[in-house]
Structure 1
Amino acid sequence: MSDRAFPPALAAALAVDFDYLDGEGVDFEPYDQFEALEETAYWLPLWTEAKLDPADFRMFGSDGTGGYAGLWSGAVVFFGSEGEAGVVASSIGDFLWLLADGSGPMEAVEYPEQESKPSPEFTAVAEQWSDTPRKTAAEVVAEARARFPDFVEMVTGPHSG
């Protein structure tokens, strides 16, 4: 397995088709493998004033506007194209339940309390691969934010004003 290959649970989830459903579904386009470190090292300092190590982030997909989703410290995180940022899930296992509940990385950050829209395809993946109990997307996001309360401040860096 190369250093850019996805862990099996994440690979299983990203192999499922994400359906945008004319704006009612999940806006997410998974990569075939983790983004090259050189690519993350290019855009990350342009996005934030914070001094972040690009090697700490393993990006695995993007949304239609250019936002990025990836792994950081075992958690799934999202960087939006307009400066949004947030922890999406505390683990890959929780991320699978977030997908099963009809949410994606961007939706989790922008609409954390959204109504459940269960996906049979992603539910099957979560039931097979997740190492965490079943949760709604809102529960996944709330737990992740509680576990990593300083993520947004860490990635947005110093602000002048």
Structure 2
Amino acid sequence: MEITDRTFPAALVALSGIEFPWDYNEKTEEPAPSNIDYEPYDEFDSAEETTDWIRSWTGNKELDGDAFRMFGQDGTGGIATLWLVRPGQPLVEQPVAFFGSEGEIGIVARSLGEFLWLLAGGVGPQEAVEFGSDSGVPHDELLAVARKYSGIEPRTPAEVLAAAREEFPSFNRTVESWCR
């Protein structure tokens, strides 16, 4: 069953109202630990924009964007997206993936609720893929959003990433198989 819903979930609406500060440490060439390089969208990208993106990212003109709902990006243009692989399940129950501007890829949460706890722990999608779960400092405003909208018990970034990688161990190989 194809998921056609393009309604922006309340949790993502709440995130779009938060400013994510970003600072780069020029000495270490890494982000400062209290920062999340994440720019939330106010709505999902259109189906056409999503198709253009996945075709451009993979070089595969046969793909369409139906399996994705893009909802944020990092400062380099890396994309945070829901990956619609659970037929019949609502958008908030779909896993969250990150596609970096330089080819980085990874599943960062099993659901939108778990993604909220990842952010609350100070880890954004790009940081999760590139640096893992120990890269952030908890963020009070994001903790409040996670408590209100996640619908699940609190999780640490380490728990979120471990569960996501355990459930979707072949995600990277799957995406690589799409590339031309």
Return the TM-score normalized by structure 1. Answer: 0.89
Amino acid at match of 2:12: L
Query: Is the Cα–Cα contact under 8 Å of residues 71 and 81 in structure 2 kept in the other structure?
Result: yes
Corresponding residue SS for 1:60: strand
Q: How many pairs were matched up?
A: 158
Find the aligned partners of 1:41 and 1:102 in 2 and give their Cα distance: 30
Residue correspondence of structure 1 range 1-150 to structure 2 within 5 A: 4-22=6-24, 23-24=31-32, 25-48=35-58, 52-73=63-84, 74-150=94-170
Contact 2:36–2:136 under 8 Å retained in 1? no
Contact 1:78 1:109 in 2 (8 A): yes
**Alpha-carbon shift at residue 129 of structure 1 (Å):** 1.1
TM-score by length of 2: 0.80
Displacement of 1:44: 0.9
Paired-residue identity, %: 49
Could you list the runs of 5+ residues in structure 1 that have no partner in the other structure?
A: none
CA–CA distance in structure 2, aligned partners of residues 61 and 84 of structure 1? 15
CA contact (8 A) 2:15 2:40 kept: no
Q: Secondary structure at the match of 2:66?
A: helix
Deviations 1:71-127 (A, max 9, x none): 013011110011111101000100010010001110111111324401000001111
Root mean square deviation of aligned Cα = 1.9
Match of 1:156 in 2: 176
CA-CA distance at 1:46 after TM superposition? 2.0
Structure ranking higher on relative contact order (CA contacts 8 Å, 6+ apart): 1
- Say whether the 8 Å CA contact 1:48–1:157 is kept in structure 2: no
Give the distance between the partners of 1:101 and 1:7, measured in 2 at CA: 21
Question: How far 1:133 moved relative to its partner?
Answer: 1.7
